Amino acid sequence: MKQSLIYLLLFAAGVILALTGQLPDALLNDDISKWILYGLLFLVGIQIGSGKKILLAVKRFGPAIALIPLATTVGTFAGAGVSSLLLPGRSLIDCLCVGAGFAYYSLSSILISEFRGAELGTVALLANIMREFIVLLLAPWMVRHFGKLAPICAGGATTMDTTLPIITRYSGSDYVVVALFHGMVIDFSVPLWISFFLSL
Question: At 23, is the pLDDT very low, low, confident or very high (cuts 50, 70, 90)?
Answer: confident
Q: What is the DSSP string of 127-195?
A: HHHHHHHHHHHHHHHHHHHH-TTHHHHHHGGGGGTTTHHHHHHHH-GGGHHHHHHHHHHHHHHHHHHHH
Model confidence band, residue 57 (pLDDT cutoffs 50, 70, 90): low
DSSP single-letter state for residue 77: H
CA neighbor of 107 nearest in space, from 24, 55, 48:
48
Is residue 132 assigned to a domain?
Answer: yes
- pLDDT at position 119 over 80: yes
User: Given a cut of 60, is residue 38 above it in pLDDT?
Assistant: yes
> 65-105: per-residue pLDDT in tens?
889 999 999 999 999 999 999 998 899 999 999 999 999 98
H or E segment to which residue 121 belongs:
helix 118-146
User: How many domains would you assign to the chain?
Assistant: 1
Residue type, 119: E
Is position 83 within any domain?
A: yes
26 is a domain residue: no
Flag whether 44 is in a domain: no
* Measured distance CA(10)–CA(16) in Å, rounded: 10
Is 109 inside any structural domain? yes
Q: How far apart are CA 72 and CA 140, in angstroms?
A: 19
The yes-or-no verdict on residue 1 having pLDDT over 60 is: no
What type of residue is 38?
Answer: Y
What is the residue range of 137's domain? 2-18+49-198
**Which of 129, 127, 124, 96 lies closest to 111, judged by CA?**
124
